[in-house]
Chain A
Amino acid sequence: MYSYDEFDERFVRERVAQFRDQVARRLDGSLTEEEFRPLRLMNGLYLQLHAYMLRIAIPYGSMNGRQMRMLGTIAEKWDRGYGHFTTRQNIQFNWPKLKDIPDILDALADVGMHAIQTSGNCIRNTTSDPFSGVATDEIEDPRATCELIRQWSSLHPEFTFLGRKFKIAVTGASSDRAAIRVHDIGIEIVKNEAGETGYRILVGGGLGRTPMIGKELRAFLPREELLPYLEACLRVYNMHGRRDNKYKARIKILVHELGIDTYREHVEAEYARIDRSNTAADMAEFARIAEQFAPPAYPELPEQSAIFERALKAHPDFAHWVEQNGFAHRVPGFMAVTVSLKPVGGAPGDATSEQLRVLAEAAEQYSMDELRITHEQNVVLPNVKKDELFALWTLLKSQGLDAPNKGLVTDIIACPGLDYCALATARSIPVAQEISKRFSDPARMADIGPLAIKISGCINACGHHHVGHIGILGLDKAGVESYQITLGGDPANDASLGERTGPGFSYDQVPGVIETLVETYLGLREPRETFLQTYRRVGMAPFKEALYADAA
């Protein structure tokens, strides 16, 4: 795993010291809120409805046991005993006090973590595939590229004050598990005909008020050209992007207004002017980073494990969990598993300090000290020996971390919504909880099969509702919560945006509405067809009729 060098270490420490001083000056009245607000946001500190919220970066979702344990300590010592993992592969603490923030940031720095680039109109945390390095369909571990981008973008003077925040995602696999098509820039590691590894670049994807699927800017970009090319992309955006209206200031609007071909011409023209003398140094740095992401020393194991096979037979619950949450590993005798943070009726993405500590222990003992946070608000243990899977499961079960529902109807993504968020127009977590309770029967869940429900508490779309197979958007209708339903969204290779069913529903109606949609699908599906496949085959009409027939 990547560990910070002295430069990073010094930089983070200096930032904490600087912020400690700024907090002190705010507390003694020498800084006004207007002066202080941008400073706190640069350090990941928001003010929500009930309290401050600290957003901590987990670069490309990768962390080790020591870091996870520290999150548990922070939750226990300075918060209310839990944290919330987000769709941007970060973690948020919901109740810290202003005076404690510098101590929290120092504690994070002790384990090589920070809250920089988690807010503001900068290039945010570059996200990635949670199965990086272990997936069988991967060309290359994307995290080295993510880290290269992180180093380049951290504090890039030209790109620290963009028109709007800027999000990049990278995948190294043919199956897109990083939602690259709904990012400002999506990067796919590909090979060209000559067998060289480089990048396919997508641009202009995003969710929010104006959702868009990214378009291809370059089918193949040679590896050494990545940073200067990104620089050209960002510079064109910075020069031409709209700043008059914050809702129109994202790069997706520029690409949409210019058209992808015109945007490409601008980028290529700018690129021709850019100084590329640094690319050799970039590649030396890339080689250094890539070395740090070299695969761990996997012991040689047989693909089959007798212990594992016996446990599967003896413990149906375990077998069910492996079936649902397991993920094939490229190394024989190993498996990756998803630890679901979606127990029936729970708050999606929340983990208690005890759970955070157990996850740390699980990583250290059973996963070669690695953890990943997924954009589905779950945790992945990427490197588990089949021999030890049962022991791991037993440990996870002791803390209620054994929900066997990855990718199923109860694996719901939900943003904090009106229970926490100052921008919200409706609640989202309790909606998720009610739906989850309604579908709690494991046999029924399994029968329904893959179904991604995603809920946002306002148009900003932090809960990715546009790309939910069923999307739920909470709005405010004259002071009352109202929920708009979309169908057929998906963030993966065949990315699509959901289509609205029609008029919205009240808070109490939502679980019943989901039930109706699921029943309609079950009635229409062909053998082995998923909800999304059925929807794509039959279209909106039967679902719409099921929802609104009575009302008409």
Chain B
Amino acid sequence: MARAFRPVVLTANDLVEGDVVWWTGAVWSRDVSDAEVFDTPEAAEAAEAALNTPEHAACTVGIVRVEVEMRDGAPFPTLRREQIRAERRPTFDYLPTSKVSEAA
């Protein structure tokens, strides 16, 4: 039996920067909480089809679906891998001290 459909968002990596990006319905955002949530397979398919254009292929790499649940009214990935992507950084203090202070 097929598993029940869970809400999804669409994600990719930015072509130039490599950054993780999320489809808001209008633009690609760096913030997963901006992502548009698709509650049915039909809605997700329609959005994927709409993004299947040379224009999007020229600014993103690998558009895929990611399952989400709602947290504080915003989508949040269910899979650990996608949660780490959504954080936009490794889970440990990865930056050299010099860079941390630069960023601060």
Query: Which residues of chain A have a CB within 8 Å of any CB of chain B?
Result: 26-29, 32-33, 47-52, 80-82, 95-99, 347, 350, 352-354, 418-420, 424, 427, 429-430, 433, 476, 479-481
Contact = CB atoms under 8 A, between A and B. Distances in A.
A429 B93 CA distance: 11
A377 B73 CA distance: 44
A29 B80 contact: no
Given A418-B80, A480-B80, A51 B19 contact: yes
Interface in B1-28: 13, 15-20
Given A82-B94, A98-B18, A419-B90, 9 more contacts: A49-B81, A50-B20, A80-B96, A98-B15, A347-B92, A354-B98, A418-B84, A419-B84, A433-B92
Given A33-B57, A50-B89, A81-B95, A418 B13 contact: no
A37 to B, nearest CB: 9
A424 B98 CA distance: 29
B54 to A, nearest CB: 6
Interface string B77-104: 0111100110011111011101100000
Contacts of B79: 479
B20 to A, nearest CB: 6
Given A47-B61, A50-B89, A476-B80, A80 B19 contact: no
B19 to A, nearest CB: 7
Contacts of B57: 29, 32-33
Nearest to B79: A479
B85 A80 contact: no
A352 B96 CA distance: 6
Given A33-B57, A33-B61, A427-B91, A418 B81 contact: yes
Closest 4 CB pairs of A and B: A419-B90, A29-B58, A51-B18, A352-B96
Contact of A419 (B92, B95, B98): B92
A47 B96 contact: no
B81 A99 contact: no
Contact of B94 (A97, A98, A419, A479): A419
A99 B94 contact: no
B18 A47 contact: yes
B90 to A, nearest CB: 4
Contacts of A429: 90, 92
Kindly state the interface size class of chain B when it binds its partner: 20 to 34
Interface of A is mostly: mixed
B91 A27 contact: no
A28 B57 CA distance: 11
Contacts of A354: 96, 98
Nearest to B59: A29
Nearest to B99: A81
Contacts of B16: 27, 97-99
A52 B95 contact: no
A50 B14 CA distance: 10
A412 to B, nearest CB: 14
B80 A80 contact: no
A476 B81 CA distance: 10
A264 B20 CA distance: 49
Given A27-B15, A50-B20, A419-B84, A430 B99 contact: no
A488 to B, nearest CB: 29
Interface in B35-84: 54, 57-58, 61-62, 78-81, 84
Contacts of B18: 47-48, 50-52, 95-98
A476 B19 CA distance: 24
A48 B13 CA distance: 9
Contacts of A48: 18
